[in-house]
Amino acid sequence: MRFTIAYLVLVSFTFLSLTPAGVSLAELRADDGFELDELDLGLEDSEDEEESDKKSEEDEEESSEDSEEDEEDAPAPKRASKAAEESEDYTSTGKKIMAVYMFEDSHTAKTASHVAAETASHLAESKDYDYVGTESVLFGSSSSWMKSAKRDFEEGKNLYNDLGIEEAIEKFKSALKYIEDNIEKVGDTTLLSEVLFYLGASNKLLDEDEQAESYFSAYISMNPGKTPDDPAFSDEIISAFDDAKNDMKDAGKGSVRVQCNEDGALVFIDGKIAGMTPVILRGISSGKHYYRIHKNGFRDAGGKVTVRGDKTVSIDETLRKNTSASAVAELEDAMKSDFGSVGMIRKATDLAEDNGLNSVFVVKASLGADERLKYQGYMIDCDKKEFKKTEAVFDLPEKGDASKSASLQQFNKALVDDPYEYKPISDLLMEEAEMLGLAEKAPAENADNDDKEKKPVYKEWWLWTVVGVVVAGGVVAGVVCGLGKCSGGGSNGATLDVNFQ
């Protein structure tokens, strides 16, 4: 019996010595897909390894059809990291950032959602942050369809340059179908724009003027004021493009009413933020437009809509919850109850680390009795463990005129564009300690020396300063270490109007 026990102990130590340094069996079991019989001890023959590799390749080919569905159900961190690695699907143009927009109550949401939409638009246009691309990955999905769209587009361009126009059109249409079938996942509309222009140019070369104008118009809606200068496009094509632009100016404009089951969702029209649900977007040019509806914690919805002059067309979508984004709901709850506190910032930094984010952006709107808007914002740099905050009180701008509010624009620039004013997150902890009376203040400089001599040691200010520094230092270190793990609430709102010109 003793021999058996000794033998088992010896085998156990031998096995443990073969595991990576510092890795426990519990950690190994916790690893995704790990099984004990998969541990490579170097005992297998090379022939077995070759057969195993061959079987893995076959299994990979068989599972390729199901990969897209599995990807959509995968946790947000895995999707985000995969998208970052696959540059063909997702290319970051700035820091990864998630934004949260909050309203104090339903009345504020009814009357101030257009202000939050303007802030979101300012953030989306920033060159320092990749707001739209990041959230598209976090709450949408990254799929192989983009590779197929790019492949067909490049093949179409080669055919176009070789004057194989009809074949090129087929390739461009194939690329367009891939994109339109997944329009709710499109954060960057650059490829879509290029496909539309090439389709317009190709149809013009075949004297299909009506089709050419339709594609050109869709391109112009996404890129107002822009004219492609590629030498591959002849003067005839550029002239037809300019004609389409002039026709759009003369054509009547319509409106789009957008609503969904979640109020406070951002509405994108042709790749640009246009408002928050529910909203009526006015001044939309006639023709085909692409829309996307986005809200943190939900899968985006999207599609196409045709607008006609002096008419209103309605969009009504249902957003489905993203089961892998439960942490977002927890963060929103923390922000509502602990806005501006260390607890809120810690939640934000935890979520940021779990999702591969660099920053978290938070704004909160509330209306006073005088109907003036109190607007507060935090920008949290989770990499540097720093934050900055901005606050403004101003008259609520008219719906459609938020971009003209000087106070709002100053707030947006201070929160998004200004690289200064950041403070260590530990400073916020010290501020809270002072508010709670946990930090002692030094006595006045003119205090009487005799009085100080009469005080017992336990009442001396310097003693408690030292104790306070030690205690606060320990708390700060704990919080900072905890921070090493480093979105708008819904509302019952009436329809608001936004002029989109």
Q: Is 236 in the same domain as 298?
A: no
Average confidence (pLDDT) over 452-472: 45
Most confident of 41-50, 69-78, 320-329, 472-481: 320-329
Per-residue pLDDT band for 72 (boundaries 50, 70, 90) equals: very low
Q: Is 127 in the same domain as 259?
A: yes
Which pLDDT belongs to residue 54?
A: 46
What is the domain-level CATH number for residue 210? 1.25.40.10
Whether the Cβ atoms of residue 143 and residue 68 lie closer than 8 Å to each other: yes
Q: Is 477 in the same domain as 347?
A: yes
Report yes or no on 109 lying in a domain. Answer: yes
Average pLDDT over the chain reads 76
Which pLDDT belongs to residue 341?
A: 85
Which pLDDT belongs to residue 345?
A: 87
Cis peptide before 75 (omega within 30 of 0): no
- Count Cβ atoms within 10 A of the Cβ of residue 430 and give its class: 0-12 exposed, 13-18 middle, 19 or more buried: middle
The residue among 250, 268, 291 that closes a domain is 250
Q: Is 154 in the same domain as 181?
A: yes
Q: Is 126 in the same domain as 154?
A: no
Report yes or no on 71 lying in a domain. Answer: no
Most confident of 30-44, 45-59, 125-139: 125-139
Instruction: Tell me the pTM.
Output: 0.69
% of the chain with per-residue pLDDT over 90: 47
Q: Is 283 in the same domain as 226?
A: no
Report whether pLDDT(320) > 70: yes
Report yes or no on 137 lying in a domain. Answer: no
Report whether pLDDT(409) > 90: yes
Report whether pLDDT(471) > 50: no
Report whether pLDDT(63) > 60: no
Which pLDDT belongs to residue 351?
A: 84
Report yes or no on 87 lying in a domain. Answer: no
Report whether pLDDT(141) > 70: no
Per-residue pLDDT band for 470 (boundaries 50, 70, 90) equals: very low
Which pLDDT belongs to residue 38?
A: 35
Q: Is 271 in the same domain as 413?
A: yes
Which pLDDT belongs to residue 154?
A: 97
Whether the Cβ atoms of residue 418 and residue 128 lie closer than 8 Å to each other: no
Report yes or no on 6 lying in a domain. Answer: no
Q: Is 320 in the same domain as 464?
A: yes
Which contacts qualify for 407-411: CB closer than 8 Å, 24 or more apart?
Answer: 408/115, 408/118, 408/119, 408/375, 409/122, 411/119, 411/375, 411/377
The domain in which residue 159 lies consists of 145-250
Report yes or no on 163 lying in a domain. Answer: yes
Helices (H), 22-144: 25-30, 46-62, 67-73, 76-85, 106-124, 131-139
Report whether pLDDT(353) > 60: yes
Distances (CA, A) of 20 to 11, 35, 41, 356, 370: 17, 15, 11, 26, 65
Gap between the Cα atoms of 37 and 24, Å rounded: 16
Domain count, the chain: 2
pLDDT, one tens digit per residue, over 283-301 is 999 999 999 999 988 889 9
Report yes or no on 442 lying in a domain. Answer: yes
Gap between the Cα atoms of 195 and 498, Å rounded: 30
Among 119, 117, 103, residue whose Cα is nearest residue 281: 117
DSSP 3-state of 263: coil
Average confidence (pLDDT) over 386-404: 93
Cβ neighbors of 126 (< 8 A, separation 6 or more) are: 94, 416, 417
Report whether pLDDT(42) > 80: no
Per-residue pLDDT band for 97 (boundaries 50, 70, 90) equals: very high
Average confidence (pLDDT) over 320-345: 78
Q: Is 242 in the same domain as 263?
A: no
Between 257 and 329, where is the model more confident?
A: 257
Gap between the Cα atoms of 8 and 199, Å rounded: 72
The residue among 194, 222, 250 that closes a domain is 250
Q: Is 393 in the same domain as 333?
A: yes
The residue among 228, 250, 272 that closes a domain is 250
Average confidence (pLDDT) over 104-119: 92
Average confidence (pLDDT) over 217-241: 90
Report whether pLDDT(210) > 90: yes
Average confidence (pLDDT) over 202-229: 93
Q: Is 125 in the same domain as 194?
A: no
Q: What six digits make up the tokens of 311?
A: 């008419």
Instruction: State how far Cα 149 lies from the chain centre.
Output: 23
Between 467 and 147, where is the model more confident?
A: 147
Report whether pLDDT(190) > 60: yes
Which pLDDT belongs to residue 435?
A: 62
Report yes or no on 44 lying in a domain. Answer: no
Q: Is 343 in the same domain as 450?
A: yes
